[in-house]
Amino acid sequence: MTHWIRRALPHHEETNVVFFRGLPLDTLVRGLLDQQRMPLAYGTGADWGLVMHDMFSWENGDYDLADYGRLCRDGGELAVFVTEPCRPKAHMPSFQYYRDGSLITGFSFETLYYRAGQEPDLLLPALTAAQLTGPTAEVDREDDEERTVRAISEFFSLPELELP
């Protein structure tokens, strides 16, 4: 299996993977389009839905991340994976979790110990149990990115994302 955190969609580099709940798919898609982020794929499920979109705006020179807080106000939740924020510079993926328009927790996969948001340690028990942080951490393994995604996905009960 090729894990999607390394390349979410074939023939598309720099794709963000956004799991959502508590808001309609069309609201999220319209919000992404308003921010000039092209949705590339989507799906809905029993609990979480999914949208994949171009990381960057189609407007030349806009390299900021989408304003996800603006997209999930009033009961919405977003679990955002930035799959390859800068492939040529070899930066690792990052993760942000938003609820009701606020960043609850977020971190880069290269610095799991440096977390941000209203509840920066929300995922700390899951990351520690996966031996990604803490005294028994096994870091610098070839599967660190996949283990991080698995820990996050299990914590939030995100659906399995299988890609060819």
Chain segment 32-90, per-residue pLDDT in tens = 999 999 899 898 888 999 999 988 787 766 667 889 999 998 889 999 998 875 554 55
Q: Is the pLDDT of residue 143 over 50?
A: yes
Amino acid (one-letter) located at 38: M
Residue 96 lies in a domain: yes
Our count of domains for the chain comes to 1
The SS3 assignment for 72 reads coil
Residue 113 lies in a domain: yes
Chain segment 111-123, per-residue pLDDT in tens = 898 999 999 999 9
CA-based angle 112:100:146, to the nearest 5?
30
**pLDDT value of position 83:** 85
Residue 51 lies in a domain: yes
Where are the alpha helices (H) located in 44-132, listed in sequence order?
68-71, 124-129
Residue 34 lies in a domain: yes
The answer to whether 113 and 127 are in contact (CB under 8 A) is no
Beta pairing class for 15-21 and 77-82? antiparallel
pTM of structure: 0.90
The SS3 assignment for 160 reads coil
The dihedral built from the CA positions of residue 155, 161, 162 and 164, taken in this order, carries a sign that is: negative
Between CA 15 and CA 38 the distance in angstroms is 10
**pLDDT value of position 11:** 62
Q: Average per-residue pLDDT in the chain?
A: 86
Nearest Cα residue to 84 out of 153, 149, 6: 6
Q: Is the pLDDT of residue 149 over 80?
A: yes
Mean pLDDT, to the nearest integer, of 89-108?
Answer: 89
**pLDDT value of position 57:** 81
Residue 76: domain span = 15-58+66-118
Between CA 11 and CA 29 the distance in angstroms is 21
Residue 127 lies in a domain: no
Residue in this structure with the two tokens 């990381």, named with its chain if needed = 55
**pLDDT value of position 1:** 34
Amino acid (one-letter) located at 149: V
Residue 93 lies in a domain: yes
Residue 25 lies in a domain: yes
Residue 50 lies in a domain: yes
